[in-house]
Amino acid sequence: PQDAIVMDAKGWTLYPGFIDPHTTIGMAELPSLEQDNAARARNIQARQRNGEPTPGLTPQLTSISTYESDGQALQAARNAGITAAAIAPPFGVFKGQSAIVTLGDGLLNDKVIRSHWAQHLGFERFRGEYPSTLMGVMATIRQHYLNAQWYGEAWNRYRNQPTTIDRPHYDEALESLQTSAAGEQPVVFTAWTENEIRRALKLADELGLNMIVNGAVEGWRVASALRTSNRPVLVSLDLRPRQGPVGFGSGGGTNPTDDPTLEDVNEAKSNAGRLYSAGVTIAFTGHGLDDPSNFLNNFRTAVDAGMSRDGALRALTITPAEILGVDDVLGSLDVGKTANVVAIKGDIFDADAEVEAVWIDGTYYDLGPNDNKHPERQVTDNEEENADTSQLKSRAEVERRAPVGPLDGEFPVTAVRHGTIMTVAGNIISGGTVLIENGKIAAVGPDSQVAVPAGAREIDATGMWVTPGLLDAHSHMSIEGGGNEGADSVTPEVRIIDVINHRDESLFRALAGGVTTINVLHGSANTIGGQNAILKLRWGKSADELLFDNVTRGVKFALGENPKRARAVERYPSTRMGVEFTLRKSFAEAREYQAKWDEYEATRSRGVDALAPRRDLRLEALSEIMKGNILVHAHSYRADEILMLLRVAEDFGFRIASLQHVLEGYKVADEIAAHGAGASTFTDFWGYKMEAWDAIPYNMSIMYERGVTVSVNSDSNERVRRMYVEAAKAVKYGGVPEQEALKMITLNAAKHFGIEDRVGSIEVGKDGDLAIFTAHPFSGNTRVQYTIIDGQLYFDRNLVETTEDVLASVEPLVSTEGVTENTNRIIDWTPPILSPMVRAQVMPSGYGDVTEPVVTADTIPIAIVGGRILTMTGTPIERGTIVVQGGRITAVGADVEAPADAHVINAAGMTVTPGMINAGTVIGLSEIGSIAATNDSSELEEINSHIKASVAIHPDSEMIPIARANGVTTAIAAPQGGLIQGQSALIDMAGWTPSEVVARSPLAMHIDFPEREGGGGFGGGGQSQEQVDAQLETLRRWMHRARAHAGALAAEMVTVTDQTYTLDALVPVVLGELPVVLDASSEEGIKSALAFIEEFQLRGILAGTRDIWKVVDEIAKAGVPVILGPIQSQPADGDPYDTIFVAAKLLHEAGIPFAFRTGGAAAARNLPDHAALGVAFGLPREAAWHALTRGAAEILGVGHLYGSVEEGMIANLVISDGDLLDIPSQVKHVLIRGQEASLGTHHTRLWEQYSTRPQPKQ
């Protein structure tokens, strides 16, 4: 036209204005929550009292009503060529409704194209209120839409019959959901990962929603499902891989992955192209980008990674217009459409192409070179340009360490041959075969009686033991987004089945322990919690493919301390009385609810058209429990609450399927049996809180003897790796027959869930689930070699990259990274010589100080006769004799004669060993873990060098005889609080007073060595590098001050005063006279600790577990001994599954002296179990015994007193009916300082009391 403004567009390419179908421009920031729990709780309660809606549960919220013009954000969008967008509220589950607008300046009213385009949903959890978990979010979405459907039906009926039907209550939120509930308004689900997308698809199908997926960085993984569902996808140009938070307590959002693999990064880039190629309708969005200036860069990255140019351009223009339903006005350069145009210098696909100008609604916006277009900015996390991927690990490495199954492909027929088969259903078969066809056991019997078809896969189990696949009746692994929906006390509507994450590495590690089926439960924060999920551990399959099919649903109940525990938001109930009332009230309400439905059905049966009651998923689940359609699995500890629950259940006409943990079940075993409940318990996990004080390891045997179906559970991602070890304790404590003990991790667990016809024993017709062990499953040197599910191989140790495989593949070069700087700090320092007078002042022999153990002057000798003696100084002595008198060993040998007046202990057929030494506990300092009044292990100060454990040892602690009864006669009792934690004591497990219990004090100084991440030890971890550096500098400063103090004392420049006690205690440390135990578990922490030892020339001892395997060479070079443990702990994420178990072998082969520790107090008796795990993974048995006895004594500087059976040594001796590294073996006698000690304990007293309880009248 003659009056047109003519612009020179030479070198420009004009495109339709880009459309972002999901942005939050102009929306308010996410609501901030008080970090203080109490303040947050008060605000939540005030809002609830005022009847205000919960932020994030606001489908009635509209972006138009909350929009505030943001010129900077509009400019940033235009710089990327975005001229129109769907603006959506940013926060919550029901975020609100979006509007489609153009992005020019001016009033919003002039820019709106469509006001209520879509309802926006997300999987965001709330803090302090419902829903606080991902499963709660799923339930909330279901309930809201069910409410909306009922609400719509109620209003329709009223509108049709306004004179005969009462007008329903108006609800703004439910009113706003009517169009989306009817499928008329789109529902945009923000779902980033494969599992989130599948959850969104599931809800859309279930609720009949017209859904659009937003985000979808892992959309490529579910491309087929998206294509089949015909759901469009708004693909984010935030190309960072993401993952959902996995773990029982994980309540965070779906965030970018901290440590993606190279494949993760490349797949995120190629995601759009793969979706497009699969036929999925996609449009690009900038949702998730930290910096919108990355929009076009990442767009080009997606094209470079395989997205077609035509498809990519359409995904910016016409396709989003079509998805938004505005392609009649936007999306292409056609006559009559809105004049939204983008001018780009060059071609959009050119690496340096930039937006020069845009027209929006015909208005020209010049974006030529200016400061606004190129503002100075920091490089953001999601910036793809110049991204360095060279340091990323490979997924191949991850999958070598946890290979996905089925391994070697799927076989229709598998035969396990030549093994010893423990069928559980019958006798043990030696030299037997199990034949599995199409996932089912087709035959089982001696090799000669089972014909193996041609072409079958054969697994040679010669010398191995074959059991049914193990079942864990209580697990929390693979839960995504939190395991406790704890804001409400009754939440049976939430479902674990909705939130399974099939990539949780714990699943593979359980497989490596022979576990094939797990019961994944809601947590115990609720009186009535959520519904469970039973999984087959088909590692590598999708979440849906893990589900055990055709299984009865279950709900987790919880009694006792957990549901009544005080929380940030006060919540009823807070007493056991309230728990009982909550149960009764809940089921009474469910009865009323069911009565309404019964009345409705009766009305319908008479031909009357009536409005159905509103479906309430919570009450519906409770009603199904009373009908027997949902099983109850109840967390329970105390006997009184167990009886209470049984009575409530009987009053409401249902049965408890399983009592979980049931720690005092032995007290009411007859009542449990009469009710018909199963019992799934811990073995010897006790003392961690008051209600666990009477937990005894004999619980299993008493309940078994009284007719209860008993299983053993893990409730732990660590214990599940060694369920067979736990089951062996049923034999040890109470003498449960081996086959019955094996049932406790197989058939009995299956019975709890009504799946015993499918799994739990090796019988024809059952699922082909097997665990194959290298030795008898209760032997101390056994490990799992194969795990088979449905006849397919899911774990084969030969196909797993183990710790030793990793180490064999790297050059044996000692890294000096992180050490050089510290080594350079070393300065020549000659320790001063303190005069005897000064030494006496600095290191006075005060209360609690002991140099040698006090022994009694007994006159009657003790002779231990006929046993196999492990002397720890040479070969075992068969049928030897040990003579003890005056607290010491006076003679030992095969030809020693027992004195005529000796008290004789007949050890024929038994094993005699030195008492075991636990090199790391808080025995005598801590009793009940959760009760502060019983704990004296942790002081408040950062520097506690002057603190002595010996002055606080409680000789009557129940932990002492319990450790003693399993052969632990000596232990380190170490303080734990602070950076420099204090001085430990070596204590024996018997004595009338602290001075009689303590064998040496001070034994060592203990330091919780600074490190960013720990694990496996007691301290460290979870800190910034700045914090670590500051703490390390604090340690150095104190060491330098102690050196200076020592020099000044030697020169008599200063004298000892009451004000120098902290430095005085460090003088023997810097003089190299008092050992220092440095606790560190991470690789960098251990290396730094070694450098610290060298820098200050300390008598250092390392204590840790997790990353020891990575730094064995460095430790060996430094010549530093190691206190290893706890062995019953987990590897770091991504590490080989056996790193903890094999660490002892690696130390042994490197010639590094080491000892074992358990940590804590209640678990101290399990010291031999820790060592046995090392034996199972290659540590020679004699080396394990050395580390438990003489090796530990030598490291601790008491090798002349403890650790071996030879003349002159302190007579700490253990007599057992077998090797204590084999779990069922039992201690028969213990001598401590030459005195026979009682094997009676708090546990044995309860066992004796309740095993003889008269059967109550029914």
Q: How confident is the model at residue 848 (pLDDT cuts 50, 70, 90)?
A: confident
Average of pLDDT values for 350-366?
93
Q: Are 889 and 869 in contact (CB under 8 A)?
A: no
Q: How confident is the model at residue 34 (pLDDT cuts 50, 70, 90)?
A: low
Q: How confident is the model at residue 1041 (pLDDT cuts 50, 70, 90)?
A: very high
* pLDDT tens digits along 306-315: 999 999 999 9
Q: What pLDDT does 815 receive?
A: 46
CB-count exposure of residue 704 (10 Å: 0-12, 13-18, 19+): buried
Report phi then psi at 1075, rounded to 5: -60, 155
Q: What pLDDT does 861 receive?
A: 94
Q: What pLDDT does 844 receive?
A: 76
**Per-residue CA distances from 1213 to 343, 620, 1170 (Å):** 88, 61, 20
Q: What is the dihedral of CA 426, 428, 431, 434, to 10 degrees?
A: 40
Q: How confident is the model at residue 40 (pLDDT cuts 50, 70, 90)?
A: confident
State whether residue 773 is helix, strand or coil: strand
Spans of all domains in the chain: 12-30+39-366, 394-469+761-801, 470-759, 916-1201
Q: Are 1191 and 1212 in contact (CB under 8 A)?
A: no
Q: What is the dihedral of CA 1025, 1026, 1032, 1033, to 10 degrees?
A: 150
CA separation for the pair 674, 1044 (Å, rounded): 73
CA separation for the pair 69, 4 (Å, rounded): 31
Q: What pLDDT does 377 receive?
A: 41
CATH of domain 12-30+39-366: 3.20.20.140
Task: Pick 384 or 140 by higher pLDDT.
Answer: 140
Q: What pLDDT does 819 receive?
A: 44
Q: How confident is the model at residue 1055 (pLDDT cuts 50, 70, 90)?
A: confident
Report CA 545 to chain centroid distance, whole Å: 22
Whether the predicted pLDDT of 1015 surpasses 50: no
Within 8 A by CB and 6+ apart from 476, the residues are 248, 483, 520, 521, 523, 715, 717
Of residues 612, 564, 620, 561, the one with CA closest to residue 590:
620
Whether the predicted pLDDT of 385 surpasses 50: no
CA separation for the pair 759, 742 (Å, rounded): 14
CA separation for the pair 1022, 238 (Å, rounded): 28
* pLDDT tens digits along 804-818: 999 998 765 444 444
Helix residue ranges per DSSP H, 733-835: 738-743, 747-752, 803-808, 820-823
Q: For the chain, what is the radius of gyration of the CA atoms?
A: 35
Q: What pLDDT does 672 receive?
A: 98
Q: Are 1128 and 1174 in contact (CB under 8 A)?
A: no
CA separation for the pair 1176, 1158 (Å, rounded): 17
Task: Pick 1019 or 1161 by higher pLDDT.
Answer: 1161
Average of pLDDT values for 729-741?
97
Whether the predicted pLDDT of 382 surpasses 90: no
Strand pairing class (94-97; 119-122)? antiparallel
Q: What pLDDT does 388 receive?
A: 61
**Cis ω on the peptide bond leading into residue 1126 (within 30° of 0)?**
yes
Q: Which amino acid is at 409?
A: G
Average of pLDDT values for 326-336?
95
CA separation for the pair 286, 292 (Å, rounded): 7
Q: What pLDDT does 31 receive?
A: 65
CATH class (in words) of the domain with range 470-759 = alpha beta
Q: Identical fold at 394-469+761-801 and 470-759?
A: no
Q: How confident is the model at residue 1168 (pLDDT cuts 50, 70, 90)?
A: very high
Q: How confident is the model at residue 370 (pLDDT cuts 50, 70, 90)?
A: very low
Q: Are 994 and 849 in contact (CB under 8 A)?
A: no
Whether the predicted pLDDT of 749 surpasses 80: yes
**Cis ω on the peptide bond leading into residue 16 (within 30° of 0)?**
no
Q: What pLDDT does 816 receive?
A: 46
Q: What pLDDT does 866 receive?
A: 96
Helix residue ranges per DSSP H, 833-958: 836-842
Q: Are 962 and 921 in contact (CB under 8 A)?
A: no
Q: Which residue has the tokens 């419902």?
A: 130
Of residues 1148, 1145, 1158, 1128, the one with CA closest to residue 1191:
1148
Read off the tokens for 823. Answer: 């080594």
Share of the chain above pLDDT 90, in %: 83
CATH class (in words) of the domain with range 916-1201 = alpha beta
Average of pLDDT values for 641-651?
98
State whether residue 1022 is helix, strand or coil: coil
Q: Are 81 and 103 in contact (CB under 8 A)?
A: no
Average of pLDDT values for 724-731?
97
CA separation for the pair 1059, 1078 (Å, rounded): 26
Whether the predicted pLDDT of 253 surpasses 50: yes
CA separation for the pair 1165, 960 (Å, rounded): 9
Q: What is the DSSP letter of 526?
A: S
Q: What pLDDT does 390 receive?
A: 65
Whether the predicted pLDDT of 1063 surpasses 90: yes
CA separation for the pair 705, 703 (Å, rounded): 5
* pLDDT tens digits along 534-572: 999 999 999 999 999 999 999 999 999 999 975 555 788
* pLDDT tens digits along 671-696: 999 999 999 999 999 999 999 999 99
**Per-residue CA distances from 805 to 294, 333, 781, 812, 1144 (Å):** 42, 61, 20, 13, 16
Q: What pLDDT does 401 receive?
A: 93
Average of pLDDT values for 57-79?
95
Report phi then psi at 211, rounded to 5: -100, 145
Share of the chain above pLDDT 70, in %: 95
CA separation for the pair 561, 566 (Å, rounded): 9
Q: What pLDDT does 1017 receive?
A: 37
CB neighbourhood size of 1133 (10 A): 11
**Cis ω on the peptide bond leading into residue 406 (within 30° of 0)?**
yes
Q: Are 1198 and 965 in contact (CB under 8 A)?
A: no
| Mean pLDDT score across all residues of the chain | 93
Task: Pick 53 or 846 by higher pLDDT.
Answer: 53
Q: What pLDDT does 251 receive?
A: 59
Q: What pLDDT does 376 receive?
A: 45
Q: What pLDDT does 957 receive?
A: 96
Q: What pLDDT does 1044 receive?
A: 93
Q: What is the DSSP string of 244-275?
A: --BSTT-----EE-SS-BHHHHHHHHHHHHHH
Q: What pLDDT does 369 receive?
A: 57
Whether the predicted pLDDT of 1020 surpasses 70: no
Task: Pick 499 or 9 by higher pLDDT.
Answer: 499
Q: What pLDDT does 252 receive?
A: 63
* pLDDT tens digits along 932-990: 899 999 999 999 999 999 999 999 999 999 999 999 999 999 999 999 999 999 999 99
CA separation for the pair 957, 934 (Å, rounded): 10
Q: Which CATH superfamily is domain 394-469+761-801 in?
A: Urease, subunit C, domain 1 (2.30.40.10)
Whether the predicted pLDDT of 642 surpasses 60: yes
CB-count exposure of residue 452 (10 Å: 0-12, 13-18, 19+): middle
Q: What pLDDT does 856 receive?
A: 83
**Greatest mean pLDDT range, 17-26, 835-844, 1021-1030:** 17-26
